[in-house]
Chain A
Amino acid sequence: MRLNAIWVYLADQPLLWLALTVTLFWLARRLYLAVGGLALCNPVLVSIAAIVGLLLLSGTDYQTYFDGAQFIHFLLGPATVALAVPLVQQLPVLRRSLAPLSLALLVGALTGILSTVALCWLLGVDARTLLALLPRSITTPIAMGVSEQIGASAELTVVFVVITGVLGAAFGVPLLGRLMRKDPVAGGFALGVTSHGIGTARAFEVNAQAGAFAGLGMGLNGALTAILIPLLVWLLGL
């Protein structure tokens, strides 16, 4: 009875879900480190799954949860702006290999968008889901902005973004095979372009050079795709 009264009081406070989100993420990250960075134990996936479980068990709706979690969500804006800092720190490298990087970036961004459109059409995935899938290769803050702008569901996009990040981190290095060792610049850049922050974290585990170029690929692809997607949506009349 007393316990129930405490729950009823807490469930009304934004603080409960804010505290639980940060704590569960912290625990999920410790778990991830404990299992040696196993991609399937990605802390984002694990904490999302844990919170979804808690919400279902307690019968709490998403709006009530978000009233608390929005304080974390808000930080995505300043974090997007902060991506300019590592980008500017790569300025000398950027200048030196500008032409190859630009061309590879354009190929990566276009392949990402067009392969999604083609596969969705082939498999008959509905248009609303297709729109939410389009920004899946770019870093979450940008992907959410793009998703909202083209009228898709930002929450759905985030789920696709996280899955794409985990896929790239888990299978990227084995898929690239020899190339990753022979040319960490190209391998790292491709990991960043395809699977943004989660891929970049994986590239840093390969070596520092792969990591730096993954960060560069993530930043550049975020910027380019943010421009390309609204343009393509308009051109294709989606």
Chain B
Amino acid sequence: MIGAIAALLLMQLAGTLLVQFLRLPLPGPVLGMFLLFALLAWRRQVPEALSRTAQTLLENLSLLFVPAGVGIIAHWHEVAGQAGRIAVVLVLGAAITLAATAWTLHWLLARARTRGLQD
């Protein structure tokens, strides 16, 4: 487990340093994710310990949102005046995104399947 944690932290560190020095438009941990993805795809297998540690961390991912979410208390005055309008943006935006993504993929997959049958 310690090895897996070391691997995750080292990838985060590498990502953060690269973003800093190359001035990339990405958060450091995201680049760390790409680095780990590339490394694991190249190795063609995920070490058992890393798989278990990642699973534990991701199963409890929602807990990690809480401290920053409580920050609404410090920012409430910014949104209080336009809460209704923001709610409309959140609801309509999510519905449009969901429908557009689902129907696009459904249509493309169906088309690929029909083409596969014809070939």
Contacts and interface: CB of A to CB of B under 8 A. Distances in A.
Contacts of A100: 105, 108-109, 111-112
B87 to A, nearest CB: 8
B69 to A, nearest CB: 4
B18 interface: no
B2 interface: no
A81 B36 contact: yes
Contacts of B106: 179, 182-183, 186-187
B89 A120 contact: yes
A142 B110 CA distance: 32
Chain A interface: which size bin?
35 or more
Contact of A52 (B62, B73, B99, B103): B73
A223 B66 contact: no
B114 interface: no
B57 A73 contact: no
A78 B109 CA distance: 34
A79 B64 contact: yes
A149 interface: yes
Nearest to A51: B70
A172 interface: yes
A158 interface: yes
A211 interface: no
B50 A85 contact: yes
Chain B interface: which size bin?
35 or more
B117 interface: no
User: By DSSP majority rule, is chain A's interface helix, strand, loop, or mixed?
Assistant: helix
A173 to B, nearest CB: 10
A25 B66 contact: yes
Interface in A75-101: 75-89, 91, 97, 99-101
Interface of A: 21-22, 25, 43-44, 47-48, 51-52, 55-56, 61-62, 65-66, 69-70, 72-73, 75-89, 91, 97, 99-101, 103-105, 107-108, 111-112, 115-116, 119-120, 123-126, 128-129, 133, 136-137, 139-142, 144-146, 148-149, 153-156, 158-164, 167-168, 171-172, 175-176, 179, 182-183, 185-187, 189-191, 193-195, 197-198, 217, 222-223, 226-227, 230-231
Given A84-B36, A189-B101, 7 more contacts: A55-B73, A77-B28, A129-B82, A160-B90, A168-B98, A179-B102, A190-B101
